[in-house]
Amino acid sequence: MDKIKVGILGSTGSVGQRYVNMLKDHPWFEVRALSASSASVGKKYREASKWVLDVDMPTSAAEMSVIAADGNALRKEGVELVFSALPSDVAKVVEKEIVDGGFTVVADTSAHRMDADVPLLIPEVNSQHLEALTKQRQKKKGIIVTGPNCTTIGLAMSLKPIQQEYGLRRVLVSTMQALSGAGFFGVPSMAIVDNLIPYIRNEEEKVASELLKILGDYHGEFKNSNIKVGASCHRVAVLDGHTEAVFLETSRAASPEDVASSMKAFKGEPQILKLPSAPTVPIIVRGEPDRPQPRLDRLSGTPERAKGMATVVGRIRREEALENGIKYIVLSHNTIRGAAGNAILIAELLKAKGMI
């Protein structure tokens, strides 16, 4: 099988670097184009990118020349599929241009997540939303699928099996988010050593609105779920891995053991289709009293098992202060599953379903 040629928009940032690293030996995709802002165009990728991962830059990428984020440049490299990790201020316009140019775009930017015909996708959770692409194809030359905010992904994944089996009435979540969520230069060390920041701009709103779309239906158009969702978002001194304390009310009574069982049994299309980046077990439920912990569990147990693509849940217990109340801790790697990894899994799903 010939590999699909892909491009990465915003390839020099920290999420861009994750893409470069995760795609280096991908069985289906081959990176052919790395784009960045105009100051970097023409430079070698190794010069343009201040590499911040703890594994070396792939040598294949190091010597590639950075190109501009436009259709002509991408077309010249034979690119069909484009991953976007653009800064949010430029994503809105550029992603649209690329789609208009006939490309398939998978974006983890927020620009088009809430568009009326754009799926906001977690492959295990709402792959049926890809139906919306039918509508897109009628209007657009290319197509676009988006992935959610890094904070929404682990939460939505952990809620899906509960919603399916017991129904969800209310979800309150308090987050302890990793530094990498703000980008490499996002949080100054002076702001976070011996400290935390109990605020992340627009994050609480995103979690609520994205969750309702993801856990909602698509029948010709998107219909939000009617779960009541509230969030309080906070930054802590952790490099990678968003930890979230979830309080919820189910529609039908469920014990902590019921919830654990439904999570353990949960599988989505990526598992059924055995997609290359799919974790074997999408939700790992741990039984220790003090897990998951971001440093120990963000890679989901072992590099071999899930490489940061699984969601890890622990401390599932009753919450007496709510009716049919349950509380638990959920952890998800924010730049792997919460960004590049989810987007790559989306692309794999599109490919496996013959949509690209």
Which of residues 237 and 356 has its CB atom nearest to its own copies in the complex? 237
> Sheet containing 4-9: which strands, arranged edge to edge?
29-34, 4-9, 81-84, 104-107, 143-146
Determine the interface stretch with its own copies among 69-77, 98-106, 168-176, 266-274 (rule: CB under 8 A): 168-176
Look at residues 145, 128, 127, 147 and name the one whose alpha carbon lies nearest to residue 137. Answer: 145
246-260: b or e for each residue (b if 16 or more CB lie within 10 Å)? bbbbbeeebeeebbb
- Mark residues 108-137: x for contact with its own copies by CB under 8 A, - for none: ------------------------------
Is 150 tagged catalytic? yes
Is 112 tagged catalytic? no
Are 35 and 12 in contact by the 8 Å Cβ rule? The answer is no
Which of residues 57 and 355 has its CB atom nearest to its own copies in the complex? 57
With a CB cutoff of 8 Å and minimum separation 6, the contacts of 328 are 158, 246, 256, 259, 313, 314, 315, 316, 317
CA distance 46 to 65: 9
Q: How far is the CB of 46 from its own copies (least distance, A)?
A: 11
Which of residues 106 and 150 has its CB atom nearest to its own copies in the complex? 150
Residues 70-109 that bind its own copies (CB under 8 A): none
Binding residue for its own copies, selected from 189, 219, 257, 287, defined by CB under 8 A:
189
Binding residue for its own copies, selected from 4, 179, 260, 281, defined by CB under 8 A:
179
Task: Give yes or no for residue 176 binding its own copies (CB under 8 A).
Answer: yes
> Sheet containing 242-250: which strands, arranged edge to edge?
228-232, 168-176, 242-250, 325-332, 311-318, 283-285
Task: Give yes or no for residue 5 binding its own copies (CB under 8 A).
Answer: no
Please, what is the angle between helix 256-265 and helix 150-166, to 10°? 110
Q: How far is the CB of 224 from its own copies (least distance, A)?
A: 14
Cβ burial, residue 261 (10 Å; 0-12/13-18/19+): middle
Peptide bond into 276 cis (omega under 30): no
Strand partners, 9: 84
- Mark residues 13-52: x for contact with its own copies by CB under 8 A, - for none: -x-------------------------------------x
Are 265 and 281 in contact by the 8 Å Cβ rule? The answer is no
| Residue 159 backbone dihedrals phi, psi, to 5 degrees | -80, -30
Catalytic residue among 112, 129, 150, 233: 150
Determine the interface stretch with its own copies among 34-42, 96-104, 147-155, 187-195 (rule: CB under 8 A): 187-195
C-alpha 223, offset from chain centre = 21
Q: How many chain residues touch its own copies (CB under 8 A)?
A: 67
- Mark residues 217-246: x for contact with its own copies by CB under 8 A, - for none: -----------xxx-x-x-xxxx---x-x-
Determine the interface stretch with its own copies among 36-44, 125-133, 134-142, 312-320 (rule: CB under 8 A): 312-320
Cβ count near 161 (within 10 Å): 23
Output the CA torsion 159→163→168→172 (10° steps).
0
Residues 324-343 that bind its own copies (CB under 8 A): 325, 327, 329
Binding residue for its own copies, selected from 7, 161, 314, 338, defined by CB under 8 A:
314
Which of residues 114 and 236 has its CB atom nearest to its own copies in the complex? 236
Task: Give yes or no for residue 60 binding its own copies (CB under 8 A).
Answer: no
Residues 282-311 that bind its own copies (CB under 8 A): 289-299, 301-303, 305
Helix (H, G, I), strand (E, B) or coil at 284: strand
Which of residues 133 and 326 has its CB atom nearest to its own copies in the complex? 326
| Chain residues in the site for its own copies (CB under 8 A) | 14, 52-56, 170-172, 174, 176, 179-180, 184-199, 201, 208, 228-230, 232, 234, 236-239, 243, 245, 247, 289-299, 301-303, 305, 314-315, 319-322, 325, 327, 329
Known catalytic residues are 150, 242
